[in-house]
């Protein structure tokens, strides 16, 4: 065994996985075929074992920030509002977690995301001085979440993945929201699953386990696809496989994106098309 081979073998497991995923074998002067064969075989086994892919939606499948900015600018042109719509979008999205926690802790009964979005919007309307919006205008603007635009690779990538797997949403968005979004954006889901069906918001384990149950699959045959590591970690704790699709522009340019430093996810991809290639779809 060469010195370089020994140096690689002496690394902790998580570092070896990280090097393999990043193609950093070159740093050790080792041929890819020499050391990545076992890793590739393991990944192929995962890809063949998995039967269904469940997708986070907001930020993973669709670009919520750009969508809200665009519709806010249209609204501003019609109403004469002058505000930073990027900030507005981030504040609206930022209220999402705390609102769900109010449901999770029992402060609120089970409440759909549409209604939580409206609660947050009403607070922002007061804060930003948008009081002249009529009730119909407020309701229409709240439904911007039904009209979010997909990332450029989304539709083509989903069609590729669909050739090998059942593909479905697993979002905190309510079923009607996700259905309208799919129709508007041309998203080719085989099914629309939601935390609404479990009456538990992610990252509660019930959300993931209910999805697997509804698909009539054991959790290990379901892979959660998301741009949010916390979502994936919760899915993994529930027994699902994981695929991290990095969306560096989700919260706008210049933001830090969490990397898979320890190789904790089964797959890491730069797009749905990249993920489809890795999965052999």
DSSP state of 148: P
Q: Which of 57-66, 212-221, 256-265 has the lowest mean pLDDT?
A: 256-265
- Assess if CATH 3.40.50.1000 describes domain 46-61+151-279: yes
Q: Residue 38's pLDDT band (boundaries 50, 70, 90)?
A: low
pLDDT at 211 over 60: yes
Domain ranges within the chain, ordered by starting residue: 46-61+151-279, 64-146
Question: How many CB atoms are located within 10 Å of the residue 227 CB?
Answer: 22
State pLDDT tens for residues 75-128.
999 999 999 999 999 999 999 999 999 999 999 999 999 999 999 999 999 999
Helix (H, G, I), strand (E, B) or coil at 147: coil
Q: Which of 8-12, 72-76, 93-97, 249-253 has the lowest mean pLDDT?
A: 8-12
Residue with tokens 């029992």: 106
| CATH of the structural domain 64-146, one choice from 3.30.230.10, 1.10.150.240, 3.30.70.1230, 3.30.70.1070 | 1.10.150.240
Q: Give the Cα separation of 60 and 151 in Å (integer).
A: 8
For residues 167 and 189, the answer to whether their CB atoms sit within 8 Å is: yes
The pLDDT assigned to 64 comes to 98
Q: Average pLDDT, whole number, for the chain? A: 89
Tell me the chain's radius of gyration from C-alpha atoms. 21
- Compute the average pLDDT of residues 45-73: 97
- Compute the average pLDDT of residues 151-158: 98
- Compute the average pLDDT of residues 165-181: 98
Helix (H, G, I), strand (E, B) or coil at 261: coil
Tokens representing residue 136 in the block: 């119909």
Q: Looking at the chain, how many residues does it have?
A: 281
pLDDT at 130 over 70: yes
Q: Is 161 exposed, middle or buried (0-12, 13-18, 19+ CB in 10 A)?
A: buried
DSSP state of 151: P
For residues 121 and 141, the answer to whether their CB atoms sit within 8 Å is: yes
pLDDT at 154 over 80: yes
- Compute the average pLDDT of residues 149-167: 98
């Amino acid at each position: 065994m060469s010195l370089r081979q020994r140096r690689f073998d002496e690394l902790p497991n998580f570092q070896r996985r990280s090097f393999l995923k990043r193609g950093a074998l070159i740093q050790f002067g080792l041929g890819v075929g020499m050391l990545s064969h076992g890793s590739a075989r393991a990944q192929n086994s995962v890809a063949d074992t998995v039967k269904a892919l469940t997708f986070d939606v907001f930020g993973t499948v669709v670009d919520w920030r750009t969508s809200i900015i665009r519709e806010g600018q249209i609204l501003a042109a019609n109403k004469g509002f002058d505000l930073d719509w990027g900030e507005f979008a981030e504040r609206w999205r930022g209220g999402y977690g705390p609102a769900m926690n109010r449901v999770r802790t029992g402060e609120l009964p089970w409440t759909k995301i549409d209604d939580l979005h409206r609660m947050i919007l009403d607070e922002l309307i007061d804060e930003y001085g948008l009081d002249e919006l009529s009730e119909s205008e407020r309701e229409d603007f709240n439904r911007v979440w039904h009209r979010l635009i997909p990332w450029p690779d989304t539709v083509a990538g989903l069609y590729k993945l669909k050739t090998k797997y059942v593909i479905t949403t697993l979002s905190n968005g309510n079923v009607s929201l996700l259905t309208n979004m799919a129709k508007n954006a041309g998203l080719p889901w085989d099914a629309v699953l939601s935390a609404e069906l479990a009456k538990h918001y992610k990252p509660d384990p019930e959300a993931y386990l209910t999805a697997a149950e509804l698909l009539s699959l054991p959790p290990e045959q379901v892979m959660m696809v998301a741009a949010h590591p916390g979502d994936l970690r919760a899915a993994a704790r529930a027994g699902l496989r994981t695929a991290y699709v990095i969306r560096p522009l989700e919260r706008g340019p210049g933001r830090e994106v969490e990397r898979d430093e320890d190789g904790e996810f089964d797959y890491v991809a730069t797009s749905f098309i990249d993920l489809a290639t890795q999965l052999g779809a």
